[in-house]
């Protein structure tokens, strides 16, 4: 069994609810720290030769896609590395779109071929992401993984649970749910 090591790290400032970071989405915060941690390690995300060989013939020799060019601004002097996966913890996912971990990895300039998942276990989702990365490396399922967490309580939306099928005669007393509380703080079983 091989050892898993942390070679770099980064974090954002801790913001206050509705404070200076209130307009920054969690996926953008995640992308910022992914990119900074990779830069601090002096690495440059690349597609491995093995992965490139698995592409359909028409895409085998394609360089960076327009999407990747938009976000990949790592210096060519940095050491190239293939990241097997990106694992990001995130609890308040409502309104962020599908797979916030994947969005952050793309916005951080990782290749589209890099798998990405989002972990939601409420408290300590980022810690769980790091633990899952270590497990995958120790088990021999991966060599290099980006892992961490991201959150923005200020950006959690309100939900209108009955809006899809209509409030009809319940107006003006229709239910509205604060997802900061319901998805992030409320103990659902009591």
Each domain of the chain, given as residue ranges in start order, spans: 26-156, 157-190
Query: How high is the pLDDT of residue 61?
Result: 77
Query: How high is the pLDDT of residue 53?
Result: 87
Out of 3.30.300.30, 3.40.50.300, 3.40.47.10, 3.40.50.150, which CATH number does the structure's domain 26-156 have?
Answer: 3.40.47.10
Strands (DSSP E) found in 8-157:
43-45, 79-81, 85-89, 115-119, 145-149
Q: Using 70 as the pLDDT threshold, list the residues of the chain that sit under it.
A: 171
pTM of the complete model: 0.92
**In 10 A of CB 74, how many CB atoms?**
18
Pairing of strands 177-178, 158-159: antiparallel
| Angle formed by the axes of helices 100-107 and 26-40, nearest 10° | 50
In eight-state DSSP terms, residue 57 is: G
Query: How high is the pLDDT of residue 59?
Result: 79
């Amino acid at each position: 069994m091989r050892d898993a090591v942390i070679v770099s790290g980064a974090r954002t400032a801790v913001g206050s609810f509705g404070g200076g970071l209130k307009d920054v989405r969690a996926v953008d915060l995640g992308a910022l720290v992914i990119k900074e941690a990779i830069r601090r390690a002096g690495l440059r995300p690349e597609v491995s030769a093995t992965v490139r060989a698995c592409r359909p013939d028409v895409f085998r020799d394609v360089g960076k896609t327009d999407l990747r060019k938009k976000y990949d601004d790592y210096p060519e002097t940095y050491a190239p590395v293939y990241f097997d996966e990106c694992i990001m913890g995130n609890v308040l996912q409502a309104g962020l779109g599908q797979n916030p971990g994947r969005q952050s990895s793309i916005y951080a300039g990782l290749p589209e071929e890099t798998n990405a998942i989002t972990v939601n276990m409420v408290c300590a989702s980022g810690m769980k992401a790091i633990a899952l990365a270590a497990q995958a490396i120790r088990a021999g399922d991966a060599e290099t993984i980006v892992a961490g967490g991201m959150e923005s309580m200020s950006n959690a939306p309100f939900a209108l649970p009955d809006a899809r099928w209509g409030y009809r005669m319940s107006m003006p007393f229709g239910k509205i749910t604060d997802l900061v509380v319901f998805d992030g703080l409320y103990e659902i079983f009591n």
